[in-house]
């Protein structure tokens, strides 16, 4: 019986990394292109932006990241890529000598007055 599955290492290599290495090796024939590709690679590592993301930012006036857009299926350019965190409200009530807080309003139905 033959094993027709792919080798284990192939599924672990990111396609973008493999493509980047191939482009880097193909463009590194001269020293000028080597420096240019190295600078672009360093920029990509620090910002996660591809070169055409900068052009899209100039055209749209918004922040553009194609890798994030591919990952979450959202638009290429957005006002912000910062995640939005929502905090659950906290309800605090006076108890004997202290203040006790809960994540729901009056959990024991004591009709107590909320402190904050």
Average pLDDT of span 31-55: 78
Q: What percent of the chain has pLDDT over 90?
A: 3
Considering only the C-alpha atoms of the chain, give the largest distance between any 2 of them, rounded to a whole number of Å.
Answer: 78
What DSSP state is assigned to residue 88?
A: P
**Token couple for 9:** 């290492």
CB 103 within 8 A of CB 85: no
Examine the pLDDT at 26 and tell me if it is beyond 70: no
Q: Which alpha helices (H) appear in the chain, and where do they start and end?
A: 8-12, 15-27, 31-47, 51-60, 66-72
pLDDT of residue 24: 66
Examine the pLDDT at 110 and tell me if it is beyond 80: yes
User: 97's torsion region: left (phi>0), alpha (psi -120 to 50) or beta?
Assistant: left
């Amino acid at each position: 019986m033959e094993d027709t599955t792919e080798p284990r290492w192939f599924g672990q290599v990111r396609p973008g990394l493999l493509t980047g290495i191939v482009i880097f090796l193909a463009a590194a024939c001269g020293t000028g292109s080597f420096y240019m590709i190295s600078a672009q690679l360093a920029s990509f590592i620090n910002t996660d932006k591809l070169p055409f993301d900068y052009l899209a930012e100039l055209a749209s006036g918004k922040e553009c990241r194609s890798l994030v857009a591919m990952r979450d299926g959202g638009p290429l350019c957005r006002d912000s890529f910062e995640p939005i965190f929502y905090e659950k409200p906290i309800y605090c009530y006076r108890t004997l000598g202290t203040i006790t807080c809960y994540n729901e309003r009056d959990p024991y139905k004591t009709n107590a007055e909320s402190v904050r």
